[in-house]
Amino acid sequence: LSSCTQLTDYFLAQTYTQDLNMDGPSKGLLAEAFASVMDKMWSNQHKVIAPSPLKYEVGRARKEFQGCKQQDSQELLLILLDRLSSDLNRVRVDKKEKKKKNEKDNDNKENEKEAEDKKKKKEASAPKTVEEKFKRFWSSFVSRNDSVVTDLVTGVERYTIRCMKCGNASTRFGTYNFLSVDIPAKWSMFGSTSVNLSDCLATYVQEEVVEDVKCDKCKGKRRKSKGTKLETLPDILIIHLKRFKMGWHSGEKIKQFINFPINGLRVNKLMAGKDEKKTAYDLIAVSNHYGGTYGGHYTAYGLNPLNKSWYLFDDKRVKEVKPSSVVTREAYLLFYKRRT
């Protein structure tokens, strides 16, 4: 995250203080702790820092992180993005209005006619086209979630379920802060072969078929296809390579080498009917995991935005490396920045 220029500048310039929201789960404390880490990392005054306050706040958010046992870096990323989003949410909720709304929601005295009228009004105002549905979804989302996380890493994906008999389709939307992608197995007569990142990304939008689902149009239980496409792309695209089968502390680790581009990643094949061929991403950071499911070691590669050099971060050791050395079989999380 430190290699994400827009995010780092946001904290170093103290802009975050204007957005601090004390109504969130961590009362702004995690954002303050994160800001302190960014400040020390970029102050040019420390060779090594101990992010103890940040670790403490992460431990408050998730008790598994309170001790010294190794945890999943993707889980850490989830916590950081979630709590930063809450701590820096520009949407302020009036507590009195929230209480009134809760009381209204809990009021079960509404008569049948009022309920029916409300249902008809809702149906009449429902968006008709996919574009209208998207606009309403996004408007509703940012009315509740508006932070630097939303600005930089949040994208929208489109889910489509289609009846394979009559073709009737329904569409809904959701948000994502990173793409968790499967690692497909590739074999040749010589054994397993390398897999390209594009192969992994293709699994994210691969349609699946479900059986015996009722169709609202033709009324019977039918086979339906379920598909996911990306509606919008974020400035910072984070890709999680699903190396751990059946969870972090059980199952097995997939140690397949994934060949991913340092420059010019294109994801237009993942898009939902939009021409995004001009959109390209460049790699800015990698989180690596060495070892297996019960332990191991984490390192990171980060691109310094000032001198455009790559660095290896390995506990107390930091050294400059060649760009070609950042593509390894230990890569676990990939951070890409949209090219401007």
Average pLDDT in the 135-160 region? 97
When comparing pLDDT for 170 and 13, which is higher?
A: 13
Average pLDDT in the 267-284 region? 84
Give the burial string for 156-180 (b: 16+ CB within 10 Å, else e). bbbebbbbeeeeeeebebebbbbbe
Given a cut of 50, is residue 35 above it in pLDDT? yes
Q: Using alpha carbons only, what angle is made at residue 206 by residues 200 and 208, rounded to the nearest 5 degrees?
A: 135
Amino acid letter for position 196: N
Given a cut of 50, is residue 109 above it in pLDDT? no
The closest of 57, 101, 107, 95 to 79, measured between CA atoms, is: 57
Which of 30-34, 91-95, 210-214 bottoms out in mean pLDDT, i.e. has the lowest? 91-95
Please give the pLDDT value at position 192: 65
Please give the pLDDT value at position 154: 98
Given a cut of 60, is residue 110 above it in pLDDT? no
The closest of 338, 178, 329 to 265, measured between CA atoms, is: 338
Given a cut of 50, is residue 303 above it in pLDDT? yes
Residue 257's contacts (CB-CB under 8 Å, 6 or more residues apart) are: 194, 195, 328, 329
The closest of 5, 100, 48, 41 to 315, measured between CA atoms, is: 48
Q: Identify the band that residue 188 occupies on the pLDDT scale cut at 50, 70 and 90.
A: low
pTM (2 d.p.): 0.89
Under the phi-then-psi rule, with left for phi > 0, alpha for psi from -120 to 50, and beta for the rest, what region is 44?
A: left
When comparing pLDDT for 53 and 251, which is higher?
A: 53
Show the tokens assigned to 18.
């204007």
The closest of 199, 314, 184, 158 to 243, measured between CA atoms, is: 184
